[in-house]
Amino acid sequence: MAKVIMIHPDRCTGCRNCELACSFKHEQEFRPRASRVHVFTWDREGASVPMMCQHCESAACVAVCPTGAMHRNAPDSLVEWDATRCIRCRMCTLACPFGNVVYDAKTSGILKCDVCDGDPECVKFCPNNALEYVDDTLATRSRKKAFSAKFKEAFAEVK
């Protein structure tokens, strides 16, 4: 069964261990800008939310990619990035509604969550279990969709 990273924003303290673990796993350096997960913090509200690629069912990044570098290997698989097919147009970074696909100027590459080939570092290093790697069930998808709807509503209020 496929698995997904479940976000529990109520458990996040904003420690950013997930960002450090991710950047070290992928780039062998502690560089939060190279992380595939980013913690968004609202100081006034006292809230932090770790965010990474949601591997959306209808992924905008896949739809806008002119070369197919951003793609899925199967309908229910993860959204993947192929560096050899990418022309670095950055359309995928503009298309992601959550801002979870980013361009890294240092490597001239696209950064997005790949769930560390099934063993996500961010999950292992989160001290409060704000990130959890769980089976992709109907209940999990329902919860993720509810979270996305709340997040979309919160962003609408910020405008």
Distances (CA, A) of 51 to 14, 68, 98, 148: 12, 24, 8, 11
Question: Is the pLDDT confidence value at 93 over 70?
Answer: yes
Q: Is residue 4 part of a domain?
A: yes
122 is a domain residue: yes
Q: What is the C-alpha separation between 121 and 137, in angstroms, rounded? A: 22
Prediction pTM value: 0.84
**Lowest mean pLDDT segment, chosen from 72-81, 95-104, 108-117, 145-154:** 145-154
106 in the same domain as 118: no
Q: Give me the mean pLDDT over the 17-23 stretch.
A: 98
35 and 68 part of one domain: no
Q: Is the pLDDT of residue 35 over 80?
A: yes
Tell me the residue range of the domain where 72 lies: 57-112
Q: Is residue 3 part of a domain?
A: yes
Looking up residue 20, the CATH number of its domain turns out to be 3.30.70.20
Instruction: Give the model's pLDDT for residue 103.
Output: 97
Are residue 96 and residue 132 in the same domain, yes or no?
Answer: no
Residue 155 lies in a domain: no
43 and 16 share one domain: yes
Tens of pLDDT, residues 36-68: 999 999 888 888 999 999 898 899 999 999 999
Same structural domain for residues 122 and 102? Answer: no
Residue range 142-155, pLDDT digits in tens: 777 777 677 667 66
pLDDT value of position 143:
77
Within a domain: 153: no
DSSP assignment of 63-118, as one string? HH-SSS-EEESSTTS-EEE-TTT-----HHHHH-TTS--EEETTTTEEE---GGGG
- Residue 156, pLDDT above cutoff 80: no
Confidence (pLDDT) at 53? 95
Q: Is the pLDDT of residue 140 over 80?
A: no
Please count the structural domains in the chain. 2
14 lies in the same domain as 42: yes
